[in-house]
Amino acid sequence: MGTGIVTPVAGYSEGLWTPTIAFATPGDSNIVLNSATVGRYERIGNLVRASFHIQTDTFTHTTASGNLIASGLPFTQATLTALPASGALNFSGVTKAGYTQFTPRPISNTTTFRFTTAGSALPNGDLTAADMPTLGSVILNGYLLYRAA
């Protein structure tokens, strides 16, 4: 039987981080994050689990283009190898017709990540400005696992 006492693990840390989102080419985008936006992380050795809740109060753009990129991960992602890091995503305010799977994926040697997409009989892709509303709000809630550099 367990004692209910948690023993600290060497190389373990946890804390908060501040996620942000932007397009690769921001153009005239105006993205204002809600005060509920927050990130949390746990790190054991070089394995990082980073969870996030990104919610916008304002989300407008007309000349923005490229991938939607999230920034602010608490540790730099190591160089990706044969097994890339990934996670899970729940979302609202996103429309990419036919695509049903959205996954946050860290970008090698950065503190940023992108959102990859997949759908039955469709090529893998990325979440881009064309998939996002030009008015309204967006919620991105998920986590990713990655190796810190």
Q: Return the higher-pLDDT residue of 133 and 74.
A: 74
User: Measuring CA to CA, which residue among 93, 96, 99, 107 is closest to residue 144?
Assistant: 107
Q: Return the higher-pLDDT residue of 42 and 7.
A: 42
Confidence of residue 137 (pLDDT cuts 50, 70, 90): confident
Q: Return the higher-pLDDT residue of 11 and 14.
A: 14
Mind spelling out the 3-state secondary structure of 28-79? CCEEEECCCCEEEEEEECCEEEEEEEEEEEEEECCCCEEEEEEECCCCCECC
**What is the pTM (predicted TM-score) of this model?**
0.86
**CB contact burial 33-44 (16+ within 10 A = b; e otherwise):** beeebbbebebe
The two three-digit tokens of residue 106, written as one number: 């860290």
* Length reported for the chain: 149
Q: Can you give the C-alpha Rg of the chain in angstroms?
A: 17
Q: What is the pLDDT of residues 77-119, one digit of tens each?
A: 988 765 566 789 998 888 888 888 899 998 889 999 999 998 8
Report whether 139 contacts 92 (CB < 8 A): yes
Q: pLDDT at residue 39 above 90?
A: yes
